[in-house]
Structure 1
């Protein structure tokens, strides 16, 4: 564009010069008609060349701009395609996450149900609190079941089976909280079975190990009864006197006093 401007300025100067030659009669002879035509033709060629150069430059710029626009359009299309692909991937991932969340919730629910079922199965197997003869302790369900079954035999008068059940209990649950009670009821079952010597040994062991036990007075009275059954009245009297002295005011002591009256 600067070149075209310079040409136009040059042409303008030439035109001014031509005008001056026409107006001034003194200079009219300086130029011939042929030279004027050549100058005009040259001027036209220069103008055409400048115009062609401008057109060519404009076409080049237009082509370059079109190429850039095309490149930008393709880039935008690629970007849109990528965005759409990402949207699809995000939607897919969102669907997977929702499915995973549902699966996790279902798994947690199943685990909670299984845990509850397991707890319900284990609960009957867990140690349970037992209160017996003024004492509290923990006992396994099977331990408690066997104890109650053995005591049931004693109360039904099935003394032989009761002795076997109580001895088996002592062997299996040697550290049980039921031990003292089992020993007392074992002596009672042996007494009921008329195994007086075994009953005496059992009651003596019970009293020696548990002098403060609530059933100690009963055990001492039962011991004296076993001695009476064996015709050992002297020893029986001593046992009854010990009972009255050690546990005064108890029902067993009252019964001991009555026994002493009839004992020779």
Structure 2
């Protein structure tokens, strides 16, 4: 019995020794697990805190960005309005400029038209081109119109006045020719001869020169100066052999006695 108790005691002691290290090891492992869990929680809390802070900052940044976008949108609208206003002003200025340019053009054309009444211009008479003042042209045309009406006295006066006023005019040769014709019609033969001869002496190449020489011969015939008329006709044929006046002169020579 004693032996059995001793044996049981020894077994119990051995079991106690065996269980005790295992229990100690389990306690150690629980502490480590708790520490690991706590450490993990701390890291998770820190991560959560960091994520929360980053999220807050991101939200603030997004809010600031939205405000900036709203401000930018407002500025863009303001710029659009300003651009539209400036475009409207530009169109108005363009219309006003176009109106000013039209007015200036009208004024310029009006001035040019008024100046053209006083400025010299190119004139062509009897195949000759020259420059004449508007008043000069108007006066010559008026004198010629009077002659064509058969008003020889007023025509003579008009051409004499014209030649006095414009002694170097490009109209000089035509004016002398028509003055001589007016005087011939008035039977003022001597003055007519003087003016016809002046035409030939002034411009012997003028298209009216052969006619002027023929007119001189006609005046001489009217003055009964047959010899002078014959000499004038002969000179005409020599000086202007290709002219129509030369053909007439040849016919007149056959009839002069």
User: Scaled by the length of structure 1, what TM-score is found?
Assistant: 0.61
Deviation sequence 1:165-190 (CA, Å, 0-9, x none): 21221233333332112112333444
Aligned to 1:179: 172
CA deviation after TM superposition for structure 1 residue 240, in Å? 0.7
SS at match of 2:19: coil
Gaps of at least 5 residues in structure 2 are 1-17, 238-245
Structure 1 residue corresponding to 2:68, chosen from 65, 68, 75: 75
CA deviation after TM superposition for structure 1 residue 150, in Å? 1.9
- Alpha-carbon distance between aligned partners in 1 of 2:34 and 2:202, rounded to the nearest angstrom: 147
CA deviation after TM superposition for structure 1 residue 59, in Å? 2.4
Paired residues of 1:131 and 1:137 also in contact (CA < 8 A):
yes
- Alpha-carbon distance between aligned partners in 1 of 2:186 and 2:30, rounded to the nearest angstrom: 162
Deviation sequence 1:124-153 (CA, Å, 0-9, x none): 777365443xx3434555333322322344
Aligned to 1:201: 194
Aligned to 2:243: none
Work out whether 1:137 is the aligned partner of 2:129.
Answer: yes
Change (3 A) 1:239 1:65: same
Change (3 A) 1:37 1:250: closer
Aligned to 2:214: 218
- Alpha-carbon distance between aligned partners in 2 of 1:257 and 1:84, rounded to the nearest angstrom: 106
Change (3 A) 1:29 1:128: closer
- Alpha-carbon distance between aligned partners in 2 of 1:30 and 1:84, rounded to the nearest angstrom: 78
Structure 1 residue corresponding to 2:235, chosen from 243, 246, 252: 246
- Alpha-carbon distance between aligned partners in 1 of 2:78 and 2:52, rounded to the nearest angstrom: 38
Structure 1 residue corresponding to 2:159, chosen from 145, 162, 166: 166
Gaps of at least 5 residues in structure 1 are 1-23
Work out whether 1:61 is the aligned partner of 2:28.
Answer: no
Aligned length: 227
* Root mean square deviation of aligned Cα: 4.3
- Alpha-carbon distance between aligned partners in 1 of 2:149 and 2:254, rounded to the nearest angstrom: 29
User: Scaled by the length of structure 2, what TM-score is found?
Assistant: 0.63
- Alpha-carbon distance between aligned partners in 1 of 2:44 and 2:149, rounded to the nearest angstrom: 134
Paired residues of 1:153 and 1:162 also in contact (CA < 8 A):
yes
